[in-house]
Amino acid sequence: MDNKAENPAILQKQAKPPGKITRMFLTLYDVCQFVTRFFKEGFLPPYEGKELMRQCYDIGYRSLALISLTGFITGIVFTKQSRPSLAEFGATSWLPSLVGIALLRTLAPLLTSLIAAGKVGSSIGAELGSMRVTEQIDAMEVSATNPFKFLVTTRVLASTITIPILTFYTAMVGMLGALLNVSLFEDTSARAFFQASLEQITFLDITASTVKAIIFGFTIGIVGCYQGYNSSKGTEGVGKAANSAVVIGMFLIFIEEVVSVQFFGLFRT
Amino acid sequence: MDQEKVIEIKGLYKSFGTYDVLKGVDLDLHKRENLVVLGKSGTGKSVLIKIIVGLLTPDQGAVKVLGQMVDKISYKELLALRLKVGFSFQNSALYDSMTVRQNLEFPLVRNQRNLTKGEVNQAVERVLDAVGLLQTINQMPSELSGGQRKRVGIARTLILQPEVMLYDEPTAGLDPITCLEINNLINEVQERFHTSSIVITHDLTCAKAVGNRVAMLLDGKFERQGTFDEVFNTDDERVKPFYEYNFIQ
Ligand SMILES: Nc1ncnc2c1ncn2[C@@H]1O[C@H](COP(=O)(O)OP(=O)(O)O)[C@@H](O)[C@H]1O
Ligand SMILES: [Mg+2]
């Protein structure tokens, strides 16, 4: 029987409490198993299509307002702050393409996934955590259904699908913010602004951002689900699950950002 | 009574860390009987039935349910076995983001994929009617009382038509009248769905009302098993307080 995957309890099986290092490796092993299980079960029928749609809608809806606001303001502020430096070289005409590239390559994916890590990650962690604590996950288990499939797979897939979409949405809203700022200070038409900013964007930029956003989305989903699904008993466990979903999620997103910048840098010459 | 055994447990040990909870449990459940398991809080009653459905794995010992060793079979076989074993949780464990109807549909549509919408509705209404709560069908679990939640939890397990029912403290935290109703329900379920059941409780009124046989968990073992009077006709200092609390007060 596949009990290690059901119970986070490989730690509890030890006669005496393991040391810090051992514990870290055991957790790592546990996480790997969790991820493997996602790939093993995520793509096998029967599918939970309805639940997946509900989760996608939920994740998108939950972060939309905040993302719109942040994206728009970032667009304005970034443009405003970049203008003086460019003006020094008499190069304010580069402003649109600078903003476009900065938003698409880095700002949009990072902003979106950090906000989602806060909003989505914590709510996944808390929701699954409280289901674990109140034995709802066990109840699914004993009624011969697969809670992993219904709860984890759908949420991870949903955030992996939704975050890239939200990322491009953020980039777009950010461009609108930039346009607002530019049109206040310069004599450019909206059409010319978008033309200038899109001109410099390459296929590689779009690919890199999409891949990054997919990775970030997957990370947010998997971390939130892992923390919630393996939450310890008691109400305290729920809070801890939500909290560590956010902290670990954000931490991993930054690491992944650094690595992917290095990686995609190899293709830019 | 039919003497065929649906659950056979031999030499079961289970510990958490250094804390030994079950220390050599032997227990049989015969077909069509209601076995009451009594014991102080924290003696491992819930652990025992969680082992029976494979939510926890035993450290040692043989647990045979409907002829299969729960800790030796594959996950797929375990799922098939769980279809035949209903588990009613101590805290009901209703899915609180779903309505009562969705709670009941959840296990059914996932296990019998070829049912039509009409058949699903019919099955849901049938079990909900059996527990007397048809009027709550569109309510959320948070709108139900403790007793109603217990009943819905029981209905949710009945919908898969199990052969064995495991009730974890079905009357805990309920008022005496609701307790009586739940006791009647347990007996009714046995009559109507021909189940064999293990009922965990520390409520002797419940034990007397539903139990054909009583087993008492003391220090990780079933030292006393038999009819209600056999178990309580003793001077054992660990058993007497139970009886005195419930009936003498
Ligand atoms: N998953 C678990 N991890 C660690 N300890 C546990 C676990 N489940 C139960 N226990 C311990 O086992 C003992 C028996 O628990 P339980 O079976 O719930 O008691 P009860 O007889 O009241 O139902 C308790 O002391 C509890 O702390
Ligand atoms: Mg218990």
Nearest to B78 among A1, A127, A135 (CB): A1
Q: What is the mean pLDDT of residues A252-259?
A: 96
A167: closest CA of chain B, how far (Å) = 29
Ligand 1 centroid from CA A230, angstroms:
17
pLDDT of residue B248: 58
Q: Which residues crowd ion ligand 2, with CB under 5 Å?
A: B 46
Ligand 2 centroid from CA B45, angstroms:
6
Model confidence over A180-230: pLDDT tens digits?
Answer: 999 998 888 899 999 999 998 999 999 999 999 999 999 999 999 999 999
More confident residue, B18 or B249: B18
CA distance B212 to B228: 8
By alpha-carbon position, which residue is closest to atom 7 of ligand 1? B16
Model confidence over A102-151: pLDDT tens digits?
Answer: 999 999 999 999 999 999 999 999 999 999 999 999 999 999 999 999 99
* Alpha helices, H only, A89-153: 95-102, 108-116, 122-133, 136-142, 147
| pLDDT over 80 (residue B243) | no
| pLDDT over 60 (residue A10) | no
Beta strands B221-226; B213-218: pairing state:
antiparallel
Q: Do A144 and B79 touch (CB under 8 A)?
A: yes
| pLDDT over 50 (residue A64) | yes
Nearest to B71 among A1, A17, A144 (CB): A1
Q: Do A1 and B75 touch (CB under 8 A)?
A: yes
Name the helix (H) or strand (E) containing B86.
strand B85-88
Choose, out of A12, A127, A136, A146, the residue to mutate when testing the contact with B (most B CBs < 10 Å): A136
Q: Which residues of B are less than 8 Å from A7 in CB distance?
A: 56
pLDDT of residue A211: 97
Domain ranges of chain A: 50-268
ipTM: 0.91
By alpha-carbon position, which residue is closest to atom 2 of ligand 1? B16
Phi, then psi, of B170 in degrees rounded to 5: -70, -20
pTM of the predicted protein model: 0.89
CA distance A232 to A9: 10
Ligand 1 centroid from CA B218, angstroms:
14
What is the amino acid identity at position B82? R
A33: closest CA of chain B, how far (Å) = 16
Nearest to B107 among A12, A17, A145 (CB): A145
| pLDDT over 60 (residue B236) | yes
**What's the token pair of residue B116?**
């039509």
B82: closest CA of chain A, how far (Å) = 5
Ligand 2 centroid from CA A4, angstroms:
22
**What's the token pair of residue A79?**
């443009």
pLDDT of residue A16: 61
Ligand 2 centroid from CA B239, angstroms:
18
Q: Do A139 and B80 touch (CB under 8 A)?
A: no
Q: Which residues of B are less than 8 Å from A135 in CB distance?
A: 89-91, 93
How distant, in Å, are the alpha carbons of B1, B15, B65, B66, B168 from that of B5?
Answer: 11, 26, 9, 8, 21
Q: What is the mean pLDDT of residues B163-178?
A: 90
Model confidence over A185-199: pLDDT tens digits?
Answer: 888 889 999 999 999
Question: Domains of chain B by range and CATH?
Answer: 1-84+164-173+196-249 (3.40.50.300), 86-161 (no CATH)
Model confidence over B21-72: pLDDT tens digits?
Answer: 999 999 999 999 999 999 888 899 999 999 999 999 999 999 999 999 998 9
pLDDT of residue B2: 53
Ligand 1 centroid from CA B45, angstroms:
8
Ligand 1, CB within 6 Å, residue ranges: A 12; B 16, 21, 39, 41-47
Q: Which residues of B are less than 8 Å from A16 in CB distance?
A: 17-18
**What's the token pair of residue A13?**
């099986």
Choose, out of A11, A138, A142, A148, the residue to mutate when testing the contact with B (most B CBs < 10 Å): A142
> In whole angstroms, what separates CA A26 from the centre of its chain?
25
**What's the token pair of residue A29?**
């092993």
With beta carbons less than 8 A apart as the criterion, state whether A249 and A134 touch. Answer: no
Measured between alpha carbons, how far apart are the two ends of chain B, in Å? 35
Q: Do B55 and A134 touch (CB under 8 A)?
A: no
CA distance B144 to B132: 13
Nearest to A3 among B57, B93, B113 (CB): B57
Counting ligands in written order, the one closest to the CA of A133 is 1
By alpha-carbon position, which residue is closest to atom 8 of ligand 1? B47
CA distance A165 to B181: 53
**Dihedral of alpha carbons A180, A182, A80, A264, sign:** positive
B194: closest CA of chain A, how far (Å) = 19
Phi, then psi, of A268 in degrees rounded to 5: -95, 125
